[in-house]
Chain A
Amino acid sequence: MIARLTFHFFRAMFDFGILSEAGADSFRHMMLGAVGGVIAFGFLVTRILVGRYQMLAALPTAAPYHRALLGDDMLMIGLPMLLVAFVTLLVSQSLFPDERDFRILGPLPVARSTVFATKLAGLLLFTGLVIVIAHASLVPWLLVSSANHWLDHSVLLRIIGWAVASVSASLFAVFAVAALVGVSRLTLSRAHLHALDALTRSGLFAALVLCIPLVYQIAAVTSFLLTGSLWLVLVPPAWFVGLQRTLVGSTTPVLFRLAVMAVGSLVAVASITVGVYLLLFRHFERLVLQPVNRSDTTDLDMATRTISIRRTIASNSSWATPAFRAIAAFTMTTFVRSQLHQSVLVGLSVFGLGIAFNSILGASPRSLARAPYWTPFAFMFASGLAMRSSLVLPLQHRANWIFKVTEDEATRRDQFRAVDWLVTAWVAGVPAVWALLVWWLATGGPSPIAALVVALIGLVSVHAVLSDWRRIPFTCSYLPGKRFIFYSLTVGILALGAFAAIGAGLVRGAQSSSTSAIVIVAVLSGAAWMLRRRRLTMWSRAPLMFEDEFPDQPLRLEL
């Protein structure tokens, strides 16, 4: 029974609940393709590392090798940590027993302690699998970096030290995410739990995404390790590098302090997680099952309550048509309450910010001066991708019948206009504000012309985001992996480079003279107006799409 329940909870971790059978099949194919790509990329990286460590072995002193080793150890501990934290956050809806588990398992002859124990076991099994895969993929790197005559301890000791420290670091990531999610679940107001829980998880997701581009700054952290900077307190992988060095016996007072921090923080987050499990176990009825009855807590008379409902209904802009308001309110409500959609939107958009911050941290004065030109476009590119990706993810596919039975040619254009408006605000509005801010920070004053050009390029870019759009957000089935993931990545990176270069060039051009500014603004305004008109015309003709399809033509690589 225990083994079966544990396996049930383990399998549930893979169920995101949004994909149809065809979508899940497509997702599996996409993941297999991604694994193949990672293996191929791993061979390439190993080859580069072999050359690098051969070069370090040939040097007359050990210092460069030790410095490189410290940086690589930081990466070899930090990368699995980040991956494991992401995966744990992705399955965070299944971290603790919930009402669904109780409703399904409650009537069965299963003790509640068994449900809790097997849920925790399922979580550990799942994260353990991810930890093993992440670490196994790093073994070639570890061996290449260890097989060097400058290494001051045995290779076996190094492997054991790294395995203990890195697995501890990954467990820290698991427990830290579980503790944060658990504590937020216990402490947040139950009346708003859904929205606040989603916001908490999206905040965590955004923080993790922001860390990805910062991985490139690991060399700077390595120098902190050598100098014993206080900043190390903010870099969890550094704590576990301290633990690794302490375990292999090559420690310093700085590294030892970090090792103590590592052990202490791991014990702390593990204790909090276990504490949350225990609290939920003892007070499950009160904390999870007891219905929220707002009427018990608010002392409003019926008339006041009716007014509050009236405000809810009339809260959206009253100038728009009912169809516009319907879709705008539906989309906004979903972004506020659906953790998945919010995470994709915020997380991918923040990735653009991360690229920008990464380029600013430790940059030379010259490259710092270039940042205001291109960073709004990196952010815009990521925001467009984020918005599109989140809008295509289905929510509750079987609930979309209401949009089918109310589909109306006369109002379809208004429904799409609501989507257009939201995408425009995110893809053109937010980067324009970012441009104003970044120019103000860089030059001490805002640059309205730069912000205007950024906004207009954003308006043109909306067309790229919505060019073939025929859906009500979140209502169409989704088939991931229509293109090979590494092809998409390559095309995306090239497109990002080209887009940022063209955008930066147009901002420079607009700032160079009044005439060129007028010409650029006029051309961009005209292009944005024409493209929007074209979209709206197409939308008034095209029927809504509720079933995603694979392209009917094979992909041409066009190499």
Chain B
Amino acid sequence: MSSPARVDGLALSEHSEPKGPERAQRVEGFEARGLTKRYGAFLALDHVDFQIRRREILGYLGPNGSGKSTTVNTVVGLIEPSAGSLWLDGRHMLEDPVAYKRRIGYVPEEPHLYTHMTAVEYLTLIGRLRGLTESVLIEKVPAFLQLLSLWDSRYTTMAAYSKGMRQRVLLAAALLHNPDLLVLDEPFSGLDVPAGLLFRTLLRLFASEGHMVLFSTHRFDMVEQLCSRVVILSAGRIVAEHDVASLRDPQSPSLEDVFVRSTGQEDFTPLARKILTLVQQT
């Protein structure tokens, strides 16, 4: 049950809304400051700080269980942070949580959507929940379906869609209201090669138009191809932050090297050998 301090799904936590000078220091763009999330004794996020500037795609990299999805869920307002604050263009999220959420688009890791609906019905539902007018929806929904190669399946309920088709519906749903910040949690899983290429190009163009993208993944190649900066997370803490362009320099360590070093990954050869031995047992 919500506590009296709860505002629209977001907690007034240890770090309540800053005032005066602290507020004035905030820059344009998105900023997470001291983001912390506890589940009982388990610390899922430990004072995480990062910024996303306009026209920037920020890669958010980390092994499984490092806190990537917790960060994403906190940024989009699905879970309450135990502490910390989120800022969008210098405005604290708690100033107007609804206005904050209106400016965010989100593509979740798993394509959880209402599969008894058709793509048209689902996108219309999302558009209405986002407050779009009927005239906008009438223009945008069929156009999205055609551009994302979903037109031929428009009468079919999404129960019959492949994972890639569902991902495309979710991307359309996330972009329908032209958000300032697009939050993507492993958006390329299930997409075929042409759709993957289209998504990458679209994200680059979207960011270049002045939008921001938070791109959570564990794929180095995607980060190297798409992102301008990368934040590496391990055990709920940020352990490295790099300019991706600098990592492309042959003299510098690769992103994979940086990741392995900063997240303390062991040498997997002995483990791989053990698995192979197990496979070969009869």
Task: Report A's interface with B, CB cutoff 8 A.
Answer: 191, 194, 291-295, 305-306, 309-310, 312-314, 318, 322-323, 325-326, 329-330, 333-334, 337-338, 395-396, 398-399, 401-411, 543, 549
Contacts and interface: CB of A to CB of B under 8 A. Distances in A.
B112 A401 contact: yes
Contact of A408 (B125, B131, B142, B160): B131
B130 A406 contact: yes
The 3 closest A-B pairs by CB, nearest first: A326-B128, A322-B128, A406-B129
A313 B137 CA distance: 7
A-side interface mostly: helix
Contact of B142 (A306, A323, A396): A306
A191 B153 CA distance: 10
A326 B129 contact: yes
A353 to B, nearest CB: 27
Contact of B121 (A294, A329, A403, A404): A329
A468 to B, nearest CB: 13
Contacts of A337: 116-117, 157
B141 A309 contact: yes
Given A293-B152, A294-B156, A326-B129, A405 B116 contact: no
Contacts, number: 128
Interface residues of B, number: 49
A329 B124 CA distance: 9
Interface in B27-46: none
Given A333-B117, A396-B112, A292 B9 contact: no
B8 A309 contact: no
A486 B31 CA distance: 55
Interface string B114-157: 11110011001111111111100110011001000001111111
B77 interface: yes
A405 B78 contact: yes
Q: By CB atoms of chain B within 10 A, which of A293, A395, A401 has the most?
A: A401
Nearest to B73: A401
Contacts of A333: 116-117, 121
B114 A194 contact: no
B263 to A, nearest CB: 28
Contact of B112 (A330, A398, A411): A398
17 contacts: A291-B156, A294-B155, A295-B152, A312-B120, A312-B124, A313-B120, A322-B131, A329-B124, A329-B128, A337-B117, A398-B110, A399-B115, A402-B126, A404-B78, A407-B8, A407-B101, A408-B98
Contact of A543 (B2, B133, B134): B2
A480 to B, nearest CB: 20
A403 B117 CA distance: 15
A406 B116 contact: no
Contacts of B121: 312, 329, 333
Contacts of A313: 120, 124, 134, 137-138, 141
Nearest to B143: A306
A294 B124 CA distance: 20
A395 to B, nearest CB: 7
B1 interface: yes
Interface in B20-75: none
Nearest to B146: A302
B173 interface: yes
Contacts of A306: 142
A314 B134 contact: yes
Given A312-B120, A312-B124, 4 more contacts: A402-B113, A405-B78, A408-B8, A411-B129
B133 A322 contact: yes
A98 B155 CA distance: 21
A295 B77 CA distance: 39
A194 B138 CA distance: 26
Q: By CB atoms of chain B within 10 A, which of A306, A310, A399 has the most?
A: A399
B160 A292 contact: yes
Nearest to B161: A291
B188 interface: no
B155 A191 contact: yes
B6 interface: yes
Contacts of A399: 112-115
Contacts of A334: 114, 116
Contacts of B152: 293-295
Contacts of A312: 120-121, 124
B108 interface: yes
B260 interface: no
Contacts of A406: 101, 126, 129-130
Contacts of A402: 113, 125-126, 129, 173
B128 A405 contact: no
Given A313-B124, A329-B125, A396-B114, A291 B155 contact: no
Contacts of B127: 322
B106 interface: yes
B104 interface: yes
Contacts of B112: 396, 398-399, 401
A194 B101 contact: no
A395 B78 contact: no
Interface in B72-121: 76-78, 98, 101-102, 104, 106, 108, 110, 112-117, 120-121
Contacts of B101: 405-408
B125 to A, nearest CB: 5
B245 interface: no
B143 to A, nearest CB: 9
Nearest to B98: A408
Contacts of B125: 326, 329-330, 402
A147 B116 CA distance: 55
A318 B128 CA distance: 12
A104 B137 CA distance: 37
B129 A323 contact: yes
A397 B173 CA distance: 18
A467 B79 CA distance: 27
B159 interface: yes
A310 B77 contact: no
A318 B145 CA distance: 23
A376 B140 CA distance: 46
A291 B76 contact: no
A405 B106 contact: yes
A325 B106 contact: no
A322 B132 contact: yes
Contacts of A318: 134
Contact of B78 (A309, A401, A411): A401
A543 B6 contact: yes
Contacts of B116: 194, 333-334, 337-338, 395
B9 A407 contact: yes
A291 B157 CA distance: 11
Contacts of A408: 8, 98, 101-102, 129, 131
Q: By CB atoms of chain B within 10 A, which of A291, A404, A405 has the most?
A: A405
Contacts of B77: 404-405
A329 B78 CA distance: 24
